[in-house]
Amino acid sequence: MNRLFILLTLTVLFFIDVNAEQKKYVVESDTDGLPLSVMVVTSDNAKVKGILQIVHGMAEHKERYIPFMEFMANNGYACVIHDQRGHGASILSSDDLGYFYDGGYEAMIADAIQIGEWMQQQYPEVPLYLFGHSMGSMVVRSYTKRYDKNLDGLIVCGSPSYNIASGVGIRLSAKAARKYGDHYRSEKLHKLSFGSFNKNIKDATSSNSWICTDIDIVNQYDDNPLCNFVFTTNGFENLFRLMRDTYDKENWKMENPELPILFIAGKDDPCIVNQCKFNKAVRFMEKRGYSNVHSKLYDNMRHEILNEIEKEKVWNDILATLNYWNK
């Protein structure tokens, strides 16, 4: 697959058209009626040949993906992204950032399926490709677990490797929720989850230096109240439950064994833990019966490879991959 990337990316031009059009919508969640903030990015400069649905990560929001979406739109992919519940504008109050409501992680998965189907209604004749980053990478795999027949390709980006302590995390989160409430923000849980992520960064200027080598990106993240927040106990419990669901061998309703799947990550991303565990996540999908699974790690990149200094390499690889799948 790496050779394929090299051959394909030689033919791709990197450009962003500032005239790419953004439209925002509100779609009520079928699960509980929560208003989901949705953004679609398209371009008149290219005929739509596919849909790229993006599911973002933990403690961020959809607007961070606009440059990447503009690039993909200009190259023929109508892009859709929603603020996941408890993120961005998909909240009922600012106190609900990092709170998933009663629907929890299962509602997150259902929301992603719903938005994909909603976008397919706008573009019924083209394939649907699903991209998930970080926490979103777990959502899209749990989506695939339930509904792979609706997909034409899956990209798993910055995948958190399975943590055997996820069960402990569930119990600690639930215990804190019983004691302090489900909106309580536990610095202890946050530190247990992310406290070691900077350990291999000698020049760390922020507790979030692990996300990217571009200091400007880190500073923007730190200064953005829609990004730099601590999850609620409800959020952490559902995050751990989502991980357990994603890596659970049971209840896979696989109907599309030839679904093309690509895993990508930065080689210095602490979420993958190490290359061995990254490869284990790849093999997990193969063991579920998927026959077309590939992977690529990027040297000198951390967690947010779409925002890295050399992000053009990643963007072009994603475009080349979709074009290859779209033949």
Q: In the prediction, which pLDDT does 8 show?
A: 44
CA distance 88 to 98: 10
CA distance 116 to 297: 27
pTM tops 0.85, yes or no: yes
User: What CATH number did the domain enclosing 304 receive?
Assistant: 3.40.50.1820
- DSSP, collapsed to helix, strand or coil, labels residue 313 as helix
Sheet containing 35-42, strands listed edge to edge, beginning at the edge strand earlier in sequence: 21-28, 35-42, 77-82, 50-55, 128-133, 153-157, 261-266, 293-298
Q: In the prediction, which pLDDT does 18 show?
A: 54
Q: In the prediction, which pLDDT does 203 show?
A: 87
In the block, residue with structure tokens 């730190």:
222
- The per-residue DSSP string of 270-288 comes to GGG-SHHHHHHHHHHHHHT
Q: How many helices (H) and strands (E) does the chain have?
A: 10, 8
Taking the CA atoms of 25, 29, 32 and 33 in sequence, report the sign of the dihedral they define.
positive
pLDDT by residue, tens only, the chain of 327 residues: 444 444 344 444 444 445 789 999 999 999 999 999 999 999 998 899 999 999 999 999 999 999 999 999 999 999 999 999 999 999 999 999 999 999 999 999 999 999 999 999 999 999 999 999 999 999 999 999 999 999 999 999 999 999 999 999 999 999 999 999 999 999 999 999 999 999 999 989 999 999 999 999 999 999 999 999 999 999 999 999 999 999 999 999 999 999 999 999 999 999 999 999 999 999 999 999 999 999 999 999 999 999 999 999 999 999 999 999 998
Q: What is the pLDDT of residues 73-94, one digit of tens each?
A: 999 999 999 999 999 999 999 9
**Overall domain count for the chain:** 1
Listed residue (241, 281, 244) closest to 265, CA to CA: 281
Residue 18: which domain range? 2-325
In single-letter form, the type of residue at position 65 comes to Y
